[in-house]
């Protein structure tokens, strides 16, 4: 397949381009040369991709596809988890063109027709088939397909089926299972965090403690109640709550009826030293006239402000009620039964409005920001750089990293204003708790969006434990997950509904909006959006980037992708009904595995943290007002539109490179130390073997000396018998008996017989005991051979026929071989017989 040639003109200065017409021609859609891309036919069953995750399966594919943003040709796959784009030839994953299905906000088919050609050529030239994909993670990508191949239709239909499945069980997180990223039940971790807040961190929760209800611990001020263990008090609250110690469960039931969705005031964070409390709830149901009251609710709020027991003369703790909404919105909610508190009903209280807009304003603001960045970004979805779009003389985007400091240059998105409101409100709450030791009750309308943002960020500023890995996990699980931030609704994913015949039917929100504000601009061609009746091409009313305004990139990507089960459903009750913690993987285990694989050089680690200065990081962080001026988040907002601008600062990049090098050097050092230890052990082993060899050599020399002495003794003994010993060069020893002695023996014993004698000493290799044998071979063996042999040869024979050396065992009776054998043990006893080798 002939891939489109990269546009090298993009990197050239506008001065190198003669005029705008040539640029329009060079960068028109005709330059892609779609008709030159050869069709490729392959089967999905033959696809064998190493980049697929566990349980990830290919559903559809398109070959010869072009990623318009970067003019890269490749292969586009639709799996049960993501839209996967691989480069042609190398089959490398292209990050910009690869997006999880759950992260896709909407997608649409687009037809491009060129305005620069005549009608006749337009009839003969097919239209360009494009597929636009808009993500929730700030990217807008466009894929181009060859005409008349029906590949776009195949990919589009696969996205319709898989992007938002009909059942929650069809999500990839359930199909993949827990795999190696399994973890403990989140309820156990929530109780452990409650124990820490109550000053009982030495205790550890367990499932048995949850089952038998023995987790209801308390201290001087607060207690853990199990009144919501069956979620009958409030369906969106966790199973366990921290409440004032002397406030009964019956009073809690009464107080819950005065708050929206029964989300009554409870403790989210407390300072065990000062007694200061950060509480949360939903709006009170005061009505249109703002005249409805609840004595039980007022008593509960007052109990949150009680002083430490035993302190005399102390003033009552001040109460701040922080309403996250604009004042006019709070008053407008009174028409629907809601509203805000009156300071006259809550003793020594002050009502503060933060003016943070609702979820709909946040969603529209993010949409405008996304389109603005795509318009002025480096990798635009229309395949043209920004300076070309503005006539080739100016770059409308400028330097986005420096531009981000100015709110006005981001068009009319208003995104940074919203972020600044959240940051300022969180810092204000942290200052009241830390400096005044006050109690702050935070709420919005339902108490699960803006309230969660403010409470979690304020807790992050107040408690240094939440600025650690374990503490940050505890904070997210407590204030976002346990207290019911509706992740499924905000991310547009299916959730569990209590209506219908089936217990786990999925509810879909009605959607509005269209692609009329599509970021695809007209340049050299006309863009015609093909409207679709599918609900997937529209945005849900309840979708909103609330979690995006608070936390980290990896955490946010995992939440949007629905790869793990932590952020599925809308509350703890729904996740328990779906058994999410048992059948789905855990995000925290995955992130811990990433950090363990790269060590201290991982991007999650703070390179500027200095553990040698503990007081620097203890206590609350109270940033000045100037530090609350927001800027764009480059690592998230600019990573797709301007990858170069999304890189970290120069100092951080250098530090991280040095940290990586240090980590590699430490690994090399560990390897070298292990090799040195192995070499030391090998040297010790060789030294031990050398000592053993020396000992064996010494022993062998001693044996050889003893053998030499014994040989000399044997030689002298044989020579004393009148025999001659001859040793040849090859080590063989031959013993010859004197002929006269043999003749004399023959005449005495058997004059008529014929005998032949031969005596020899075997070689050392044949006789290891260095024994000596002298044999006489005869034609006939006499009846008493010992007497004849001794008379002829042995000088140790006594006159009476006995033997002076009875221990030698020199005769072998009953055999045809008769002779004398030297015994070394007998030679050791020579000193006993002094007359052996002396003449008589």
Catalytic center residues: 444
Q: Do strands 439-443 and 319-323 pair parallel, antiparallel, or not at all (unpaired)?
A: parallel
Annotate 595-632 with DSSP letters as a single string: HHHHGGGSTTS-TT--TT-HHHHSS-----GGGG----
Tokens of 372: 């603005």
Cα–Cα distances in angstroms (integers) from residue 224 to residues 219, 239, 246, 588, in the given order: 9, 10, 11, 25
CB 762: neighbour CB atoms within 10 A?
15
DSSP-derived secondary structure letter, 479: I
Q: State the distance between the two ends of the chain, measured CA to CA, in whole angstroms.
A: 118
- How does strand 439-443 pair with strand 505-506? unpaired
Three-state secondary structure call for residue 460: helix
Q: What's the alpha-carbon Rg for the chain, to the nearest Å?
A: 48
Residue-by-residue DSSP string for 691-708:
HHHHHHHHHHHHHHHHHH
| CA gap 57, 77 in Å, rounded | 10
For 129-159, give one letter per residue: b (16+ CB within 10 A) or e: bbbbbbbbbbbbbbbbbbbebebbebbbebb
* HEC string for 749-794: HCCCCCEEEEEEECCCCCCCCCCEEEEEEECCCCCCHHHHHHHHCC
Contact between 353 and 374 (Cβ < 8 Å)? no
Q: Cβ(622)–Cβ(461) under 8 Å?
A: yes
3-class SS string, 177-236: CCCCCCCCCHHHHHHHHHHHHCCCCCCCCCHHHHHHCCCCCECCCEEEECCCCCCCCCCC
HSE-CB at 220 with a 13 A cutoff on CA atoms is: 13
Among 252, 250, 278, 280, smallest CA distance to 265 is for 280
């Amino acid at each position: 397949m002939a891939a489109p040639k990269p546009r090298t003109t993009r990197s050239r200065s506008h001065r190198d381009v003669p005029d705008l017409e040539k640029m329009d021609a060079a960068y028109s859609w005709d330059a892609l040369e779609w008709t030159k891309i050869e069709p490729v036919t392959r089967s999905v069953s033959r696809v064998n991709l190493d980049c697929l995750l566990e349980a990830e399966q290919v559903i559809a594919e398109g070959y010869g596809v072009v990623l318009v943003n970067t003019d890269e040709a490749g292969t586009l796959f639709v799996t049960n988890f993501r839209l996967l784009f691989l480069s042609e030839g190398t089959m490398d994953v292209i990050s910009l063109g690869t997006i999880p299905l759950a992260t896709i906000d909407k997608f649409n088919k687009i037809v491009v027709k060129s305005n620069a050609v005549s009608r006749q050529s337009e009839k003969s030239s097919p239209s360009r088939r494009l597929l636009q994909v808009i993500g929730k993670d700030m990217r807008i990508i466009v894929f181009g397909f060859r005409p008349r191949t029906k590949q776009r239709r195949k990919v589009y239909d696969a996205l319709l089926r898989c992007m938002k499945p009909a059942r929650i069980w069809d999500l990839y997180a359930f199909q993949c299972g827990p795999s190696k990223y399994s973890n403990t039940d989140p309820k156990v971790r929530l109780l452990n965090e409650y124990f820490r807040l109550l000053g009982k961190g030495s205790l550890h929760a367990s499932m048995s403690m949850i089952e038998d209800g023995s987790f209801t611990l308390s201290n001087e001020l607060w207690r853990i109640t199990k009144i919501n263990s069956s979620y009958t008090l409030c369906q969106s609250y966790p199973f366990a709550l921290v409440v004032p110690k002397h406030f009964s469960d019956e009073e809690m039931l009464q107080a819950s009826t005065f708050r929206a969705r029964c989300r009554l005031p409870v403790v989210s964070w407390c300072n065990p030293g000062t007694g200061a409390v950060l509480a949360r709830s939903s709006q009170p149901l005061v009505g249109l006239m703002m005249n409805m009251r609840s004595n039980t609710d007022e008593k509960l709020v007052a109990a949150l402000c009680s002083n430490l027991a035993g302190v005399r003369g102390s003033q009552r703790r001040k109460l701040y009620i922080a309403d996250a909404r604009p004042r006019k919105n709070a008053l407008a909610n009174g028409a629907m039964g809601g509203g805000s508190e009156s300071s006259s009903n809550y003793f020594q209280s002050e009502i503060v409005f933060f003016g943070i807009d609702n979820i709909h304003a946040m969603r529209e603001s993010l949409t405008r920001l996304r389109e603005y960045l795509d318009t002025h970004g480096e990798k635009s979805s229309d395949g043209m750089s920004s300076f070309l779009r503005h006539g080739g003389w100016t770059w409308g985007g400028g330097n986005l990293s420096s531009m981000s400091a100015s709110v006005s240059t981001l068009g009319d998105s208003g995104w940074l204003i919203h972020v600044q409101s959240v940051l300022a409100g969180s810092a204000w709450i942290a200052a009241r708790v830390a400096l005044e030791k006050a109690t702050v009750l935070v709420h919005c309308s339902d108490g699960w969006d803006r309230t969660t943002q403010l409470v979690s960020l304020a807790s992050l500023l107040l408690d240094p434990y939440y600025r650690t890995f374990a503490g940050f996990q505890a904070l997210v699980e407590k204030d976002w997950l346990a207290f019911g931030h509706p992740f499924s609704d905000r991310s547009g994913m299916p959730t569990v509904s209590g209506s219908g015949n089936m217990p786990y039917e999925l509810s879909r929100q009605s959607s509005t909006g269209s692609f009329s504000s599509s970021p695809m601009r007209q340049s050299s061609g006309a863009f015609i959006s093909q409207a679709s009746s599918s609900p997937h091409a529209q945005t849900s009313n309840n979708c909103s980037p609330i979690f995006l305004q608070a936390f980290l990139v990896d955490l946010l990507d995992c939440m949007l992708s629905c790869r793990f089960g932590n952020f599925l459903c809308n509350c703890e009750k729904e996740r328990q009904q779906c058994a999410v913690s048992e059948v789905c993987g855990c995000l925290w285990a995955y992130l811990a595995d990433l950090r363990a694989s790269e060590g201290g050089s991982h991007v999650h680690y703070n390179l500027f943290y200095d553990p040698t200065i503990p007081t620097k990081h203890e206590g609350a962080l109270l940033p000045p007002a100037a530090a609350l001026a927001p800027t764009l988040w480059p690592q998230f907002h600019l990573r797709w539109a301007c990858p170069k601008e999304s890189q970290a600062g120069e100092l951080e990049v250098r530090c991280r490179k040095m940290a990586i090098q240090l980590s590699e050097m430490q690994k090399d050092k560990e390897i070298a130390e292990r090799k040195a230890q192995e070499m030391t052990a090998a040297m010790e082993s060789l030294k031990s073997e050398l000592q053993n060899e020396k000992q064996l050599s010494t022993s062998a020399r001693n044996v050889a000396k003893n053998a030499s002495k014994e040989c000399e003794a044997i030689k002298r003994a044989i020579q004393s018998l009148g025999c001659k010993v001859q040793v040849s060069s090859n080590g063989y020893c031959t013993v010859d008996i004197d002929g006269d002695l043999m003749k004399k023996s023959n005449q005495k014993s058997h004059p008529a017989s014929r005998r032949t004698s031969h005596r020899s000493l075997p070689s050392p290799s044949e006789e290891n005991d260095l024994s000596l044998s002298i044999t006489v071979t005869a034609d006939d063996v006499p009846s008493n051979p010992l007497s004849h042999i001794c008379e002829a040869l042995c000088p140790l024979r006594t006159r009476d026929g006995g033997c002076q050396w009875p221990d030698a065992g020199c005769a072998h009776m009953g055999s045809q071989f008769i002779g004398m054998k030297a015994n070394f043990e007998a030679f050791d006893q020579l000193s006993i017989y002094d007359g052996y080798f002396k003449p008589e």
